[in-house]
Amino acid sequence: MQIELNTKKLNELTDTTRIVFIVAKNFEHQWIEDKEALELLGFKAENEECLFVPTHNILYVGCESLDPDDIRLAAAKAYDFLKKTTIREVCIGTYSLDCPGLNIKAMVEGFTLASYTFNAYKSQKEPIKLQTIILCLEDYSRTDVSMQTASKALNAGMIIAEATNFAKEIINAIPNDMTPLALANVAQTLISLPNVTCKVLDKDFLEEQGMNAFLAVNRASVHPPKLIHLIYKPEDAKKRIIYVGKGLTYDSGGLSLKPSEHMVTMKADKSGGAAVMSILKGAAELKLPFEIHAIIGATENMIGGDAYKPDDVLVAKNGKTIEVRNTDAEGRLVLADCLSYAQEFKPDLLIDMATLTGACVVALGEFTTGIMGHSETLKTSCLEAFTKSGELSGVLPFNKHLKKLIKSSVADISNISSSRYGGAITAGLFLDNFIEEENKDKWLHLDIAGPAYVEKAWGYNPFGASGAGVRANLYWMIDEAKK
């Protein structure tokens, strides 16, 4: 599918199917040629409902408002409708209000996000006829949109949505296909981008570095672990931003085995790793002026005679000892060592992303990312970026009482809390033990356990992986680059 810009008026493209959004139930707009017919058919323009009127060759789509996320959603719903038809080409105007760039970007994202289908494991793939979307620079609110603004927005929107779709494809792949080695091979493909390099570090390196927490999680797996380190380093880099992602290609729970109904979907426990990789890809394509690292701890968490056990004590890379009380709290063990490794590269900003806790899903619901950290400024700025990108997030506050719940009588720290409450935060506080003093205010932890994997389609997210966190972080860096 391609999106083209065109300076023609919509009604000059007489043979092309036109998409018209009905914004805020306003049927009076000049673009609506079938007011009576729509009324007759009982079309209310609610919930992004779509109605095709063949006589005028127009697809009407309800759009709640001119907020970017409503436009993103309406565009996605239009695409969902069109992909079931044999229509090959459509045109649409712009819906700018006072922010043409943002709204065009959102529309392009909506179309591109919706164009992703996960069909790698279907023997019959349904062909999609829709090839071209022509974006005409004629505006709903009669704002003048310049070709330059539109083409910049088109380019950015495509890159951001394609990076998100890239993450989805990695996450949706089954554990037998997307092993730690396969994940490393995907990372290697990104070196075709300018200024991107990739190192894949093996078990020997992890042993040399004393990354015993990471190694313990891997022990019962037949697939060796990989520490994947991607770097995007443009010449004029303003800051060094280091992302660390949880790359559990499968989480069975280990000896603290998950019940079967909780084990399905655990192929998605690599979502943090896939996200950081995709953020780096997007940032390199957008040519953002930051040095960006994506560090991924890739392994499975399995069972077997060699499995690490509840009661084990592990010595992490930074020397801290960890009492293992539950082998299903494995993500924090892998991240602990990866965070220690990451800090050797002196970050200006350190962000980890992980499907870390079911407790985060209980706290915030399945649509929302949990943001944790020490710096109020950083948390606020991250929250704003999520909102701007159309992703949902909420801040979960640390406190000194919760911090006490991960004390251990055996080792320096326990890998689970002694209370059944506040599990997302105690997991964040566990990670805090591996953040050096000088980096406390540079660090954020994003728990994406809720939104990373969609079991019931919502908004513009189809069944399966959503690429949670990719758009939000790219929006954040785009805005930071302007400062």
Catalytic positions are 258, 332
Distances (CA, A) of 65 to 23, 105, 142, 283, 326: 6, 16, 16, 29, 47
**CA terminus-to-terminus distance, the chain:** 34
The answer to the question of residue 297 lying near Zn ion (CB under 5 A) is no
Spell out the SS3 assignment of 344-355. Answer: CCCCCEEEEEEC
Q: Which does 289 bind (CB under 5 to 8 A by kind): Zn ion, ligand BES, none?
A: none
Candidates 64, 109, 138, 251; binder of ligand BES (CB under 6 A) is 251
Q: Tokens standing for 83?
A: 């992909």
Closest distance of CB 330 from ligand BES, Å: 5
Stretch that binds ligand BES, among 28-36, 115-123, 197-205, 357-365 (CB under 6 A): 357-365
**What character string, x for contact with ligand BES (CB under 6 A) and - otherwise, covers 256-295?**
-------------x--------------------------
Residue whose CB is less far from ligand BES, 355 or 439: 355
Q: Which does 416 bind (CB under 5 to 8 A by kind): ligand BES, Zn ion, none?
A: ligand BES
Candidates 329, 333, 385, 435; binder of ligand BES (CB under 6 A) is 329
Q: Which does 358 bind (CB under 5 to 8 A by kind): ligand BES, Zn ion, none?
A: ligand BES
Report helix, strand and coil shares of the chain as percent, to nearest 5. Answer: 40, 20, 40
By CB under 6 A, how many residues form the interface with ligand BES?
Answer: 16
Closest C-alpha among 106, 89, 104, 112 to residue 18: 89
Q: What is the DSSP string of 22-79?
A: EETT-TTSTT---HHHHHHTT----TT-EEEETTTTEEEEEES-SSHHHHHHHHHHHH
The dihedrals phi and psi of 403, each to the nearest 5 degrees, come to: -60, -35
14 touches 134 (CB < 8 A): no
Closest distance of CB 23 from ligand BES, Å: 36
The answer to the question of residue 331 lying near Zn ion (CB under 5 A) is yes
Candidates 210, 310, 358, 394; binder of ligand BES (CB under 6 A) is 358
Distances (CA, A) of 146 to 7, 11, 18, 136, 153: 10, 19, 21, 11, 11
The answer to the question of residue 454 lying near ligand BES (CB under 6 A) is no
Q: Give the residue carrying structure tokens 């970050």.
A: 347
Q: Which residue is nearest to ligand BES (CB)?
A: 358
Closest distance of CB 452 from Zn ion, Å: 11
Stretch that binds Zn ion, among 127-135, 143-151, 205-213, 329-337 (CB under 5 A): 329-337
The answer to the question of residue 323 lying near ligand BES (CB under 6 A) is no
Of 232-271, binders to Zn ion (CB under 5 A) are 248, 251, 269
Of 55-74, binders to ligand BES (CB under 6 A) are none
The answer to the question of residue 447 lying near ligand BES (CB under 6 A) is no
The answer to the question of residue 328 lying near Zn ion (CB under 5 A) is yes
Residue whose CB is less far from ligand BES, 62 or 423: 423
Distances (CA, A) of 466 to 84, 124, 149, 275: 21, 23, 28, 10
Q: Which does 138 bind (CB under 5 to 8 A by kind): Zn ion, ligand BES, none?
A: none
The answer to the question of residue 282 lying near Zn ion (CB under 5 A) is no
Q: Give the residue carrying structure tokens 């004393």.
A: 210
Closest C-alpha among 62, 446, 391 to residue 246: 446
The answer to the question of residue 162 lying near ligand BES (CB under 6 A) is no
Q: Tokens standing for 453?
A: 């994997």
Q: CA-CA distance, 350 to 352, in Å (whole number)? A: 7
Of 356-385, binders to Zn ion (CB under 5 A) are none
Closest distance of CB 469 from Zn ion, Å: 16
Closest distance of CB 251 from Zn ion, Å: 4
373 touches 384 (CB < 8 A): no
Q: Which does 245 bind (CB under 5 to 8 A by kind): ligand BES, Zn ion, none?
A: none
Stretch that binds ligand BES, among 176-184, 191-199, 223-231, 326-334 (CB under 6 A): 326-334
345 touches 240 (CB < 8 A): yes
Stretch that binds ligand BES, among 22-30, 37-45, 323-331, 466-474 (CB under 6 A): 323-331
Q: Tokens standing for 321?
A: 């000892």
Q: Which does 449 bind (CB under 5 to 8 A by kind): Zn ion, ligand BES, none?
A: ligand BES
Ranges of beta strands (E only) in 335-424 are 349-354, 368-373, 392-395, 413-414
DSSP state of 313: E
Q: Are strands 313-315 and 2-6 parallel, antiparallel or unpaired?
A: unpaired
Distances (CA, A) of 216 to 35, 262, 344: 66, 22, 22
By CB under 5 A, how many residues form the interface with Zn ion?
Answer: 6
The answer to the question of residue 330 lying near ligand BES (CB under 6 A) is yes
Binding site for ligand BES (CB under 6 A): 251, 269, 326, 328-331, 355-359, 361, 416, 423, 449
Residues that bind Zn ion (CB under 5 A): 248, 251, 269, 328, 330-331
